[in-house]
Amino acid sequence: MPPLVQAQATLTHEEIRRYSRHVIMPEVGIEGQRRLKAAKVLLIGTGGLGSPTALYLAAAGVGTLGIVDYDVVDESNLHRQVIHGISTVGMSKLDSAEKRLRDLNPDLVIHKYNEPFTSDNALRILEPYDIVVDGTDNFPTRYLVNDAAVKLGKLNVYGSIFRFEGQVAVFGHADGPCYRCMFPEPPPPGLVPSCAEGGVLGILPGTVGTMQATEAIKLILGIGEPLVGKMLLYDALEMSFTTLKVRKNPNCPVCGVPHEQIELIDYEQFCGMPAHDRSGFNTPTTTVDGMRVMNVRQLKARLDKEPETLVLDVRDPHEWAIAALDGSLRIPKGDILAAKDAVLAGRAKPRGRHPRMGKGHRPELAVVLAPKRLTHPAPRRFWLRGGAVGLGATCRALPLPALSHPLPD
C-alpha cells in the first residue's frame, strides 16, 4: 500500500536527533519521518484506547493530533487511561492529555475538540485529517465514526475491547470492508455491555490501542501489511492472536453506495442506546428480548411513585459490595437457576421461558422490579441497565434509598 501522507514537512536537527532510531531504519528514514511529521491523525477519545494511541503517535513524531473528548479525568479510569494521572483528576481529559503530550513532543500540533462527536459535527471535525483512530467505547459513536470516515474517504483504524479480549481492523479502504459490512445492525440494546458494566482488564486497551497506533504509523509510512480486509482478535488470557479475513459487502448500506449518498443518521436512535452516560438519552421502553429495560433515573422515579415496588437484585455478591439498595431482595442469578433446575429435574420441559436469566446473560441487567402485592396477574418486570457501576454512579447524584455499602468514588 502506498504511503498515505506526502513527505512535505522538513525536520530540524533536534528532530533528527530525537528520532534517530527511526531514521536509521530504511523502512522509515528521513523521508518516513517527514511523512510522520506531516501526518494529521484524529483520535476519538482519550480513554483506554486513546491513551496509548496518543502517547505513541506523539512519541513517534506524528505532527498533528486532533483529539475529541468532553469528559473529565476520573480516578476509577486511571487503571487503563494512562495518559492521565492523579495530578489531573477532575481536569478536562483534553487538557490533561495535552499536558502529557507536550512533554513527550513539544513540536506536536494539538487540536482539541471539547464536544461529543455527533452527526452534526463529525464531517467538519474529521475532514482535515488523514486517518481517524476510533477509541470509542460505545456503538452509536462507532457507527458514526465508520460512516463519516467512509463518506469522506478516510481510513478508520478501529479497536474495541471487552474484559480480556480485543479487536483491531482498518476500515474504509477501497479494497476492504467497513465496520457496517461486518456488523450491518447494532446488537440489541443491553445485550452487549460496556466496559463500565462488564469491566475491562486495565492493560488490555494498552495492547489494543498500541496496535491501533502501529497500524496508523504503517499507513502513514506505507510499510507492511495493514489490517485491511482482516480483523485481528486478541485474547489476553490465552495470549492468542487470530486474524480473520473479512470481506467487503457489495450491498453494504454505507460503503456500497456513492459517498455523496451516505447520510449521517441519529445513531443513538439507530442503536437504541446512548453514546455516553451524559447524553441524556432516555428511552423508557427499550427491551431486551421482550423484557423492558430501565435506567437508574427511571428506577428512582418508580420508587418515588410506588414505594411498594420490590427490587430483586440478581447480581453476584461481589457486585452488592460495590453498591446495593437497602430493602432489596438479594438472590444471585446462579442460585435462582440452580433452584429452578432442582425443581424441574425429571419433569418435562416447562412451558414458556424463564424470564431472561439464561446462562451467560449479562449481569448488567441486575434488578427486576415487581409490585409487592402479588395480586397483579403478571408482575411488571424490568431489567436495570448499568449493574453495579451504573447503580453506584447514579446513586451519587440521586437521592435513592439508603445504600447498604459505601459507594466507590
Nearest to 405 by CA among 288, 276, 313: 313
- Residue nearest Zn ion, Cβ-based: 252
The footprint of Zn ion on residues 140-179 (CB under 5 A) is: 178
User: Least Å distance between CB 141 and Zn ion?
Assistant: 17
* Residue given cell 461529543 in the structure block: 116
d(CA 133, CA 287): 32
Restricting to residues 173-212, which ones interact with Zn ion according to CB under 5 A?
178, 180-181
Rg (CA), the chain: 24
Asked if residues 33 and 19 have their Cβ atoms less than 8 Å apart, the reply is yes
One-letter amino acid at 374 equals L
List the grid coordinates of 43. 483520535
Report in angstroms how near the CB of residue 132 gets to Zn ion at its nearest: 15
Specify the stretch interacting with Zn ion by CB under 5 A; choose among 217-225, 246-254, 313-321, 336-344. 246-254
Q: In whole angstroms, how close is the CB of 178 to Zn ion at the nearest point?
A: 3
Q: Which listed residue (89, 104, 252, 403) binds Zn ion by CB under 5 A?
A: 252
Number of amino acids touching Zn ion (CB under 5 A): 6
- Cell 412451558 belongs to 351
Site stretch for Zn ion (CB under 5 A), options 73-81, 228-236, 239-247, 250-258: 250-258
In the bound state with Zn ion, the residue whose beta carbon lies nearer, of 139 and 382, is: 139
Region near Zn ion per CB under 5 A, out of 156-164, 251-259, 301-309, 345-353: 251-259
Q: Binders of Zn ion among 302-341, rule CB under 5 A? A: none
Nearer to Zn ion among residue 174 and residue 378 (C-beta): 174
Secondary structure (H, E, C), 112-149: EECCCCCCCCHHHHHCCCCEEEECCCCHHHHHHHHHHH
Q: Which is nearer to Zn ion, 36 or 150 (CB)?
A: 150
Report residue 311: phi and psi, to 5°. -105, 110
Choice between 184 and 327, CB closer to Zn ion? 184
The shares of helix, strand and coil residues in the chain, as percent rounded to the nearest 5, are 35, 20, 45
Separation between Cα atoms, residue 328 and residue 311, nearest integer Å: 5
- At 21 the three-state DSSP class reads helix
Q: Tell me 75's DSSP state.
A: G
25-44: which residues touch Zn ion (CB under 5 A)?
none
Q: How far is the CB of 179 from Zn ion (least distance, A)?
A: 7
Residue 32 vs 176, nearer CB to Zn ion: 176
- The minimum distance between CB 170 and Zn ion, in angstroms, equals 13
The least distance separating Zn ion from the CB of residue 160, rounded to whole angstroms, comes to: 17
The rounded distance, in Å, linking the Cα atoms of 112 and 292 is 39
Write each residue from 253 to 272 as x if it is in contact with Zn ion (CB under 5 A), else as -, in one continuous string.
-xx-----------------
Footprint on this chain of Zn ion (rule: CB under 5 A): 178, 180-181, 252, 254-255
